[in-house]
Structure 1
Amino acid sequence: MATDGGIHHHARGEWREPSLAHRRIRFQKGLYVDFHHIFLLSYGDGELHFDDDEHRTLYGPSLALLSPDVRCEITIAAGAQACLIGASPQIMVDAIGDKVESYSLRIFIEQMKLIETMDAGSLGEINPLISGFVRELADPARASWMVVSAYMRLILMAVWRASGGANAERRGQGESGSILVRYRQLVEAWFRQHRPISDYAVELGVTTDRLQAICQRTLGRSPIQLLHERLVQEAKLRLERSARNIQEISDSLGFRDPTYFSHFFKRKTGLSPASYRAVAQASAGSDNSVLSSDYADWP
């Protein structure tokens, strides 16, 4: 588990003030290769140079959200002001959390997003949040994991809204799609409460059979399967990334006792919680498909 003392292995933040010459940043390499990055061009010109020789010119104020699989360099023109921040998968998991909006954010950060014309209101909201993120990292004596992840949560929400993410979701959904998205959002809020599926159906204003039909038709899985998948994913994340013992993890996920949690987890994964943790520790830094690290895994 990462500690606050190791925060600089999990987050970065740097302002680039105006200069007389252009500057180039190759940012997804070494320590930062698995980071999600946000590039804010406050004013002036910039350019993204991708590995396939494509390039995109940016004119401030603009913003780019770059997932780890995007490989590019950034050029900042003379006289331009910009900021680059980044966060590791562990910070992103904490920032996204398990609230109602978490599902939307998980999907949102998996692809590159460009806001090429940022209005004054969005810039006024995002700029101080990014400044706070950078300031928190600037003082090693006080830099806090909790504060950095809190800033990142606010930044992601602000970028999602500024990009029109919420409106795009609403436009792209028919009635069934809307019910499914709302079900996923309720799962994010309720999955630790072990509520029956009938509670979800009542909250959504549909019958249990209709919710069942929508989930099966769209995803090929029942509502209870989707709920259990989310619970298993969270258990995996906590076993991989926290130092809590099995009983503490069981309690935090709402199980009535650790024995029931262990049986549930082994039935779903084929491994006991202790065995899974051992595999995770032995596989640190490797590409092991047993592990849970992808944000978009569910579902």
Structure 2
Amino acid sequence: MTKVNIDEWIPNIVLGQDYDRRYVDSPVHYDVLENLAVFFGRDMPVHRHAQYLQIHYIDRGEIHFQIDDKIYHITGPALILTPPSFPHSFLSIPEACGHVLTIHQSIIWQLLKDGLQQPLSSELEHEWCLNQKNLSDDDLLNWTLIVQTLEAIGREWNHDFPAKNLTLQTLVRLLLIQVTRLSTKKAISRCINNDDLQYFRKFSNLIQECFKAHWQLGAYASSLGISESRLHQVCQRIADQSPKKIVHDRLVQEAKRLLTFTNLSSSEICYQLGFSDPAYFSRFFKRNTGVTTQNYRQQFS
């Protein structure tokens, strides 16, 4: 994969604006892989979809897929999930075909509010790839349901049936539940308070805006209008992590992206992420990843 220039940001693609303006405000976008390949090309460079989760179902053919620092070389049938804002690129052979579904994260939040089990929803927060040949007999039954749901979404998308938008969102919610069931087996029901969910959502948005400023947890809590202890309780209940760990994970994720997709030096990344001391940044990165920035970059150069 070719690294972007030092001053070049990873482009954000909004399919409703950049590809099909008929659906500029739609929280869901569907198309077959073949159509997108004609428009964007089979060799899709590094890009991201801010606030949109994406599901690629490869029915047949080979595809090379990179999400953040993960590289997959797969042959369909296969399913790939890319969380919102994660940089990714892919190269598919001309014979590769399948479905591409792009979903606004508000649909995921609504699912969680309506009672989606937390272990299931957490599967939508990181990238993963499943190949049909590696599934058990029970999972193959669920896989068949996923394919049928994708085909139903395609039919709704391409026709003006009554209640089209409602049907599409209902099918997409069903699909999200189906695909998460394939990646987790022991989902334990957990009661989630709606206020906690709202605070966690606002905290996540604040992290996205302010993580480079290295706010103290007290500043996050004050901005949310709650105490630090309440913030800690919210994060433990929703994400099973401390708020400090969530903020640090966001910094590490951004550092990994810059190491993987740019030519910035470790010191330049240090200052770009708001650290004042390159040596401290190096220790921070190694403490959270187990490897140095140099070794990490060498793995994916």
TM-score normalised according to structure 1 size: 0.50
| Partner residue in 2 for 1:280 | none
Counterpart of 2:173 in structure 1: which amino acid?
A: R
**Structure 2 CA distance for aligned equivalents of residues 121 and 231 of structure 1:** 35
1:229, distance to aligned residue in structure 2 (A): 2.5
Please tell me whether residue 229 in structure 1 is matched to residue 248 in structure 2. no
**Structure 2 CA distance for aligned equivalents of residues 7 and 270 of structure 1:** 34
Q: Deviations over 1:41-85 (max 9, x none)?
A: 111211103465x63201111111110132112222122222110
Please tell me whether residue 76 in structure 1 is matched to residue 92 in structure 2. yes
**Structure 1 CA distance for aligned equivalents of residues 172 and 47 of structure 2:** 18
**Which has the higher Rg, Structure 1 or Structure 2?**
1
Contact 2:113 2:197 in 1 (8 A): no
Identity between Structure 1 and Structure 2 (%): 15
Contact 2:42 2:91 in 1 (8 A): yes
Q: Deviations over 1:172-212 (max 9, x none)?
A: xxxxxxxxx54xx2x24xx57xxxxxxxxxxxxxxxxxxxx
1:233, distance to aligned residue in structure 2 (A): 5.7
Query: How many residue pairs align between the two structures?
Result: 188
**Structure 2 CA distance for aligned equivalents of residues 161 and 65 of structure 1:** 13
Q: Deviations over 1:83-105 (max 9, x none)?
A: 11011122222344422x43223
SS in structure 2 at match of 1:68: coil
Q: Deviations over 1:100-143 (max 9, x none)?
A: x4322321100011112354434311111112223333346857
Counterpart of 2:225 in structure 1: which amino acid?
A: G
| Partner residue in 2 for 1:107 | 122
Counterpart of 1:42 in structure 2: which amino acid?
A: D
Q: Deviations over 1:240-267 (max 9, x none)?
A: xxxxxxxxxxxxxxxxxxxxxxxxxxx9
**Structure 1 CA distance for aligned equivalents of residues 130 and 147 of structure 2:** 14
Contact 1:133 1:148 in 2 (8 A): yes
| Partner residue in 2 for 1:202 | none
Contact 1:46 1:76 in 2 (8 A): yes
Q: Within 5 Å, give how 1:9-158 maps onto structure 2.
A: 9-17=26-34, 23-25=42-44, 28-29=47-48, 32-50=49-67, 55-99=71-115, 101-118=116-133, 119=135, 120-139=140-159, 144-158=164-178
Contact 2:59 2:97 in 1 (8 A): yes
Alpha-carbon distance change, 268 to 75 in structure 1, aligned in 2, over 3 angstroms: closer
| Partner residue in 2 for 1:255 | none
Contact 2:23 2:29 in 1 (8 A): no
Contact 1:160 1:166 in 2 (8 A): no
- Where structure 1 has 5 or more consecutive residues not aligned to the other structure, the ranges are 170-180, 193-227, 238-266, 272-291
**Structure 2 CA distance for aligned equivalents of residues 36 and 105 of structure 1:** 15
Aligned residues: CA RMSD:
4.2
TM-score normalised according to structure 2 size: 0.50
